[in-house]
Amino acid sequence: MNRFAKHEKWLTEALATLGNSLCKEDADALMVERRAMGESEWNSWFRRNRVGLSRYAQATPYQRTLLKDWREPSCRRKMILGAMTLLYRRRRLLRQLDLFQFAETPEPKRMSDILGWVLDDSESYSPPWCFDPDGNYRDNERAEDI
């Protein structure tokens, strides 16, 4: 039983909305930009923009069009990928927490270890590339891979 099914459903739908907002040309350009940044630069950019990414992920498509900071094509593409990464990590966190079906609450030290492991894993998670060669969004992450 997934205790977080409602939350996971919202995250999955939000991921699809963001992923489907990119056309093939955008997805291709994003792949080139992301590769050019490299892992270290991408992670730094992601951390610096985390608050904005969270706002972007939660905004409606209409709200996103109104915000000037997100209109420039390269910035918009990175914001989409960053917001998707954030949502993938949140979904992973929920899935991992759901794996721990405790009959009773563990001792504080054990619970601290479990929460630390789950948080570290979800924070460092890099989701698989989520666009096919035609630029279509596809959710490549499977719950059973957690």
pLDDT tens digits for range 91-139: 888 888 887 766 677 788 888 888 888 888 888 888 877 888 887 888 8
In total, how many domains does the chain have? 1
pLDDT tens for residues 48-67? 999 999 999 998 888 888 87
Domain interval for residue 47: 5-145
Nearest Cα to 130, choosing from 69, 76, 82?
A: 82
- Return d(Cα 146, Cα 143) in angstroms, integer: 6
- Return d(Cα 13, Cα 3) in angstroms, integer: 18
